[in-house]
Amino acid sequence: MDEQIVDSMVYRLFREPDAFDVVVAPNLYGDILSDAAAALVGSLGLVSSVNAGDSFFMGEPVHGSAPNIAGQGIANPIASIRSGALMLEYMGYTEPALKIYSAVDNVLRKANVLTPDLGGSAKTADVEAAVLLELGA
């Protein structure tokens, strides 16, 4: 276990992301670090996160509510889907969570159904449908 100042940790995230396995941080610093980590993978719309305590566990997308694109049907649903999978995993439903992770990865790997944040033109519902298709639903 190591402690690190948040600004230097952001630098290390970019220079040596493989140096980190699990990061535990207070809310403000977690926000800063998760936004920086999103830049490494290409979009805030891809990054899930959790808030966890002794008596609670809550999965949530890093991106927040994105009010600037509300109602346009172009928000990337991947972070929300992955956050749901994190909650399933926490509750002991590892197999369904792994299936969701795999389905999402397959959609991203194929890269033919992507929202505008990833350079595509797909709508939110299109990405949701593609993930469901990968799940066999």
Query: What's the pLDDT tens digit per position in 25-74?
Result: 888 898 888 888 888 888 888 988 888 888 988 888 877 777 889 899 99
Separation CA 56–CA 42 (nearest Å):
30
Residue 124 has a pLDDT of 96
Assess contact for 37 and 44: CB atoms under 8 A: no
The encoded tokens of residue 37 equal 């980590």
Contacts of 66 (CB under 8 A, 6+ apart): 75
The encoded tokens of residue 72 equal 């346009």
Query: Whole-model pTM?
Result: 0.82
Assess contact for 17 and 40: CB atoms under 8 A: yes
Assess contact for 113 and 123: CB atoms under 8 A: no
DSSP letter, residue 8:
H
Task: Kindly indicate the confidence band of residue 135, based on its pLDDT and cuts at 50, 70 and 90.
Answer: very high
Query: What's the pLDDT tens digit per position in 11-20?
Result: 998 899 888 8
Assess contact for 79 and 44: CB atoms under 8 A: yes
Query: In 3D, which of 25, 21, 22, 18 has the Cα closest to residue 4?
Result: 25
Domain boundaries, the chain: 42-135
